[in-house]
Structure 1
Amino acid sequence: MPDLPDPDDYDRLSLNWNELIQEVRVIQTGVQILTGFLLTVPFTQRFGELNDLQVGVYLAVLSGAAATTALVMAPAAFHRMLFRRGAKLWTVEAGNKCVIAGLSLLALTLSGVLFLVFDVVLGVGTAALTAGTALVVFALLWWVVPVKLRKRWPVE
């Protein structure tokens, strides 16, 4: 059954949708560049020198990048497949959830990429410290600060 919004809410939903898509454009570009870079790594000369841990991390971050791509592109797919079906409210809400999940996975993926690079260059100890620090920074900037600030402003 379509979720036909109240005519007064339609403008708000359209604004929310447009804001969501603008945010997706920012995220999507970075994720696509990261994924493209990761896809080239096995074809480099040094890839054969990676140890089992490094290969495992590489495969995990490549999978994370692909899953992040799927999550941040999902809102566009939802919109296209449900266009003119009266599902704008669902599309905005589901798209929002996908982007939040995509950002969470992106934080893990980027931290894993940092782990891999620092492990290859400086060793596993420095890699673990760097990846852990990155996760903390992502968690603070992408989750803790916004959640804390949500209490200051009501839902529009």
Structure 2
Amino acid sequence: MNEPPNAPYTRHDENDAERLDRQWNELLQELRLAQTGTQILFAFLLSIAFQPRFQDADDFTKMVFAGTLITSALAMGLFLAPVSFHRIVFQQRVRHLMIPMADKMAAAGLIFLVAAIAGGLLLALDVVLSRSTALIVCGLVLSWFVVLWYVVPAWVKRAASR
């Protein structure tokens, strides 16, 4: 039976346990990508603080750096939390509780990740552009992320629910 292109996606051939396994595997695939990128960003940020030139940076740069390092650490923690969660509750038959919580952790991690990306971009642009230009460009890039990561999916979700 062919469903119309705008029909909601359903799997009639899977039971609840199979659906939970599929959802968990889909979430893990998303987290693998986010975890790797966030860990690389965090490691790069850690190295900046130990560069001799950074010691001469102004207060603005040091505050942006601190905020960026903190938000990347929080993002990394949120992206890794489902792994720890799974390890602790492994074989406890609570996947139906774990998946919604892990989903919220991943969503929160994305918020911190976009803040860390914006902070890292601002740190780099502040070196090569005037500060005001760097702030404007960073704001535009942040807006672009918000549109692609939140506005477009919300629009699609809303359109699909009609």
Q: 1:123 aligns with which of 123, 130, 136?
A: 130
Q: Which residue of 1 aligns with 2:116?
A: 109
TM superposition shift of 1:123 = 2.2
Q: Is 1:44 aligned to 2:51, yes or no?
A: yes
Distance in 1 (alpha carbons) for counterparts of 2:46 and 2:124? 15
Secondary structure of residue in 2 paired with 1:11? helix
Unaligned ranges ≥5, structure 2? 1-13
Q: What's the secondary structure of 1:86's corresponding residue?
A: coil
The number of residue pairs the alignment matches comes to 148
Q: When the two structures are superposed, what TM-score results if normalisation uses the length of structure 2?
A: 0.87
Matches of 2:112 and 2:70, distance apart in 1? 10
After superposing on structure 2, the runs of 4+ consecutive aligned residues of structure 1 that deviate more than 3 Å are none
Q: Which runs of 5+ in 1 are unaligned?
A: 1-6
Separation of aligned partners in 1, 2:44 and 2:160: 39
Q: Matches of residues 6-155 of structure 1 in structure 2 within 5 Å?
A: 8-153=15-160
How much has 1:124 moved relative to structure 2? 1.2
For 1:93, the aligned partner's letter is P
The alignment yields a C-alpha RMSD, in angstroms, of: 1.3
**How far apart are residue 116 of structure 1 and its match?**
1.3
